[in-house]
Amino acid sequence: MKAESAQVASISDVHLGHHNTTAEEIIPNLHEAFKDTERNNALDVIIIAGDLFDRLMSLNNPQVFATMIWFGAFLRWAAARKVAVRLLAGTKSHDWDQNQFLMVLQEVMNVEGDVKYIDTLSIEYIDCIDRHVLWVPDDWRPDPDVTWMEVTQLLREKGLDKVDISVVHGSFEHQLPEVANAHPHKLRRYLDISRDYVIGGHIHIPGSLEHFICNGSFDRLTHGEEGPKGHWRLKLNRKSGNEAEFIENKNAKKYITVDCAGLPLEDAMNLIKSEVSRIPTTSFVRVRANEGDAILSLIDTLRKNYPTYTWSTKKDERKDTQRILLTDMRSTFQAVQLSPENIVELLMTRLSEKHTQDPAMLQLCRDHLIQELER
């Protein structure tokens, strides 16, 4: 089939099953993004470029029930509107190959849609858009240079010098800080072999560079990701050219940081009250203050007064710290029971409060911690 034009939706890093932003919160936003509308029905392909899941989930997890229900509705809609769906394997410690559950569900529901799960380095010709797509799962090889060698070999085997779209779950060099101990892919390589777009998953901050787009995470999952969340829509046209549009998920979970550093206690409390009044009551709120600022002694009070919000602190190095004599309102120490289920989130909170707010660095640390736990 020769298609001059095609419409593609690209989404990744949904992280269903996340501890902070749950599937029950993410799925209504997915439904809003892919509901039965004229624009969505015009799509030819939806690419889910890895990390659809956040962790391995047991069937008795309530998030699994919500996920199953949405998957069923999504697959029926896609089949009815003849929208192809492609799922790329993401980070193993997130997806755990659970993406292939959609294939099983499709069979159980007897839905005859065009749905495929890709967990190997491969090139696919997708007939409905008349394009060749290169699929690069996360961690295909420990060394991205070896992965690239296999990509070039695959192109030769297919008799191709280029593909139309490359979909890579992994980081590229421009997305990581120089201090990161990581081995990213080299973007120029993939740009040079991709006529239309290079699509990147794994990094949670959306962006674009030349004909590269980074999906970013679909929803907000942690502090340090205050920017827009959502997915991309691509209009491919061999005559008039291509267009890429970022579709914002305007209902993404709110994570805010209230900067109270150096403020007197009353001013800090008034600022916090003003900020939380503008956001949903299930939001995550982080209070930034200098070491020794009075507001830090009232975090437990804030938790009691605003119990539906999730509170944390970020302490800066001691600067012009207030020296105000206060009635002792320090928090009572509460022991935390450590377990395999909560250790990663506790450590990540500690890292974000004490050491770095760089989203890419935090993501690398989180992935490494999970991998270490699984040994």
Q: Where are the domains of the chain?
A: 5-248, 254-334
Looking at residue 27, what is its pLDDT?
95
Would you tell me the crossing angle of helices 62-80 and 23-33 to the nearest 10 degrees? Answer: 10
Bridge partner list, 192: none
Residue 141 contacts residue 14 (beta carbons within 8 Å): no
Specify the DSSP class assigned to residue 254.
P
Tell me the C-alpha distance between 264 and 242, whole Å. Answer: 53
* Residue type present at position 248: E
Tokens of 56: 């391995």
Looking at residue 258, what is its pLDDT?
95
HSE, CB side, 13 Å, CA atoms: give it for residue 231: 23
Tell me the C-alpha distance between 58 and 211, whole Å. Answer: 39
Tokens of 339: 């377990």
**Is residue 171 packed enough to be buried (19+ CB in 10 Å), middle (13-18) or exposed (0-12)?**
buried
Bridge partner list, 194: 163
Looking at residue 30, what is its pLDDT?
96
3-state helix, strand, coil in the chain (%, to 5): 35, 25, 40
Residue 315 contacts residue 291 (beta carbons within 8 Å): yes
Looking at residue 343, what is its pLDDT?
73
HSE, CB side, 13 Å, CA atoms: give it for residue 32: 15
**In a 3-state reduction of DSSP, which class is residue 245?**
strand
Sort strands 230-237 and 5-11 into parallel, antiparallel or unpaired: antiparallel
List all residues 6 or more positions away from 360 whose beta carbon is below 8 Å from its beta carbon.
171, 175, 176, 177, 180, 203, 205
* pLDDT (tens place) for every residue of the chain, 375 residues total: 567 889 999 999 999 999 999 999 999 999 999 999 999 999 999 999 989 998 888 888 888 888 888 999 999 999 999 999 999 998 888 888 888 888 888 888 888 889 999 999 999 999 999 999 999 999 888 888 999 999 999 999 999 999 999 999 988 887 777 655 567 889 999 999 999 999 999 889 999 999 999 999 999 999 988 899 999 999 999 988 999 999 999 999 999 999 999 999 999 999 999 999 999 999 999 999 999 899 999 999 999 999 999 999 998 764 443 333 232 322 333 334 455 656 777 777 777 666 666 667 777 777 777 777 666
Tokens of 282: 């299930």
**Residue 298 CA from chain centroid, whole number:** 32
Looking at residue 375, what is its pLDDT?
62
Sequence length of the chain is: 375
Give domain 5-248's CATH number out of 3.40.980.10, 3.30.1370.60, 3.60.21.10, 3.40.50.2020. 3.60.21.10
Looking at residue 333, what is its pLDDT?
32
